[in-house]
Structure 1
């Protein structure tokens, strides 16, 4: 007896006789595209879209490419399908290079970039920042240097966003001197390039050089101030951090959290609490900083009372409290809290596993 067929999705009802595709227009196919829930659905729509000539309709093409580039899990198959198209526009390549850069496989963006060159499609001012960010995320210094050499052969070597991307790539790959060379070689520097260079120095622990650059900045934004305050606070220069904080023309929650965390890291919970009370808008990070601070000072009772007062509890706050009890060798209490957690992540399990391992209670 024939089994009853499952319900077919709306987008899988196309007749796959190519002669039948002629009755579909690009406009009539786009609504089906947005309903795609799987790669199988997508193939049912994309093939007639190609036959209908959507690559000749720039507006439709942008809509399709924008939609597809956000479907990270479909990228492999989508790229294969789009290779059917002769001489695709650069922005199509850019969209999928960016899609890979934002995925769990950013190195694929570099592969696609090389395919783009192989197909004689010239990179533009968007291509280089996207692929350089992929190099930064993958810590692919060699590939980044090769792309830098290619950039120098194009007029885009003077583009501010391309130059800023080079600074970011080198700093992310640990080559802070190369990042500085790119920065110093810029005939005109914008705020983004200054911020990237300062952020690079801070992340590499060279806070004093970052501060020198900060003092030279022709203009600053919130990011500039926050990076310096956070960097100074984390390296123990809390008084300098406080001086900058007091000079800020404007503050956001990141500013407040950075300075409070600085005091908490130094064990000065009195100053941290005083600032906490002044924060006009507290978020879960603000509360977690206080909770962590008291736990680090072995004031686990106060830490727990803060946990109880928190208007919102998330995995960070649960893990922080449990970790605090573990540090105070109160493993039984930590385990009871672990059992009460509404949800757990890898950090939660690692905290408890490490606790039992250190206590010699691992089975």
Structure 2
């Protein structure tokens, strides 16, 4: 006799937003579920807290809604709650929303989130205020970011907000402000990290001061970042922009494990100074060391080659590696062939492009006007 036992299937009820309003999270009672122990026929009582919906999981939305639409919906709900007098003070919510705004570069939504954040949180919560500083600085509003930064009571506890603000000034070309912030950082006793120095070195390269650059070089060695490839790559670029290509090469040679950024930094540095022969030597060293030149390397060299023969060799290299359709490479090839009177070849490449930008159109227009 065979008996078939059908186990009951459990259906978990969905929780509507209206029911959640009737039962706030801190008033919910624990649900009890009993699980039979097959070994001793005993019962073990386990309790689980009732899950509550959260605006933090913005990425888990249905397919018909974009992340930006989901973000807008969450912020609108929070604004409605605030208008009804419901106080929102959870820092995790604001930190998550600001992170999403930063990822999506949604500055308008970030401003709305900013209006919802209580003043005491911006003053005392390092995580929330630092992410707001980063959002404003990365979107080109360094001055607004600095206003938030000045109100932070715990900014000396971490370099995160300092790095964001320095980066914001450097990216917008306000190099002196970025450098001043670095020196203020030292005065207030904030310890720089591996993300501080590349941003400061970028600003130093923008100013073009080799003396300040050398001082920062000493600082980063003292702080223990003298063998950090991320920092050393920025150091190579700084020396090249300050006009000392020899020191840049010396730093490059000291990098123990060079990555693509290392090679491309040295390559573009030589090209920037018109040293095509040295740039081609770097290109050959890349190949010899087993580093496949990427689209940055190829397009950089193509933009500066002097002979059609070398240009065609590089074109063949790009074709063999499936890089001829890369936007930057194709643009460089169009410029190369048009400058040397090869209009048909330039037009052929243009016609084969799956993606075109302003550079592409300007290059092909220039080719026809020659």
State if a TM-score over 0.5 links the two structures.
yes
Q: CA deviation at 1:134?
A: 1.2
Which of 15, 28, 42 aligns to 2:53? It is: 28
Tell me: CA distance 1:67–1:301, structure 2 relative to 1, closer, same or farther (3 Å): closer
Alignment pair present for 1:193 and 2:231: yes
1:307 correspondence with 2:343: no
Is 1:202 the counterpart of 2:244? The answer is: no
Equivalent in 294, 305, 314 of residue 275 of structure 1: 314
Do structure 1's residue 114 and structure 2's residue 114 form an aligned pair? no
Contact 1:156 1:162 in 2 (8 A): no
What residue number does 2:333 align with?
290
In structure 1, C-alpha distance between the alignment counterparts of 2:110 and 2:352, rounded to whole Å: 45
Give, in whole Å, the separation in 1 of the partners of 2:245 and 2:285: 18
Q: Output the CA distance in 2 between the equivalents of 1:43 and 1:106.
A: 26
Residue 340 of structure 1 corresponds to none
Which residue number corresponds to residue 168 of structure 1? 202
| 1:245 equivalent in alignment to 2:283 | yes
Q: Superposed, which structure 2 residues align to 1:8-47 within 5 Å?
A: 25=25, 27-30=52-55, 34-37=70-73, 40=76, 42-44=78-80
Decide whether aligned partners of structure 1 residues 214 and 134 sit closer, same or farther in structure 2, where only a CA change above 3 A counts. Answer: same
Aligned to 1:359: none
Give how far 1:102 is off: 1.7
Q: Structure 2: state its 5+ residue gaps.
A: 1-16, 27-51, 59-69
- Say yes or no: does 1:220 pair with 2:258: yes
CA gap of 1:253–1:163, structure 2 versus 1, over 3 A, is closer
Which residue among 240, 243, 261 is the counterpart of 2:303? 261
Distance 1:297 1:45, change over 3 A: farther
Unaligned runs of 5+ in 1: 1-13, 329-363
The residue number in structure 2 matching 1:72 is 107
Distance 1:173 1:157, change over 3 A: farther
Q: CA deviation at 1:244?
A: 1.4
Q: How does 1:126-165 map to 2 (within 5 A)?
A: 126-165=160-199
- CA distance 1:141–1:276, change in 2 (3 Å): closer
- Cα deviation for residue 321 of structure 1 reads 0.4
2: CA distance, partners of 1:48 / 1:176: 58
Q: Residues 311, 73 of structure 1: CA spacing in aligned structure 2 closer, same or farther, 3 A cutoff?
A: closer
Instruction: Check if 1:54 corresponds to 2:90.
Output: yes
Which structure has the larger Rg? 2
Distance verdict in 2 for CA 1:165–1:278, change over 3 Å: closer
- CA-CA distance at 1:225 after TM superposition: 0.6
Q: Secondary structure at the match of 1:156?
A: coil
Select the residue among 93, 96, 101 that pairs with 1:63.
96
Matched, 1:323 2:366: yes
Change (3 A) 1:204 1:269: farther
- Is the 2:95–2:131 Cα contact (8 Å) retained in structure 1? no
Q: What CA distance in whole angstroms lies between the structure 1 residues aligned with 2:191 and 2:295?
A: 37
Cα shift at 1:136: 0.8
Q: Distance in 1 between matches of 2:147 and 2:84?
A: 28
Secondary structure of the residue that 1:180 maps to in structure 2?
helix
Give the 3 Å change call, closer, same or farther, for CA 173–99 of structure 1 in structure 2.
farther
TM normalised by structure 2 equals: 0.70
Partner of 1:91: 127
Distance 1:200 1:308 in 2: 39
CA distance in 1, matches of 2:361, 2:271: 25
| CA 100–120 in structure 1, closer or farther in 2 if over 3 Å, else same | same
Deviation at 1:21? 7.0
Question: How far is the alpha carbon of 1:250 from its aligned partner?
Answer: 0.9
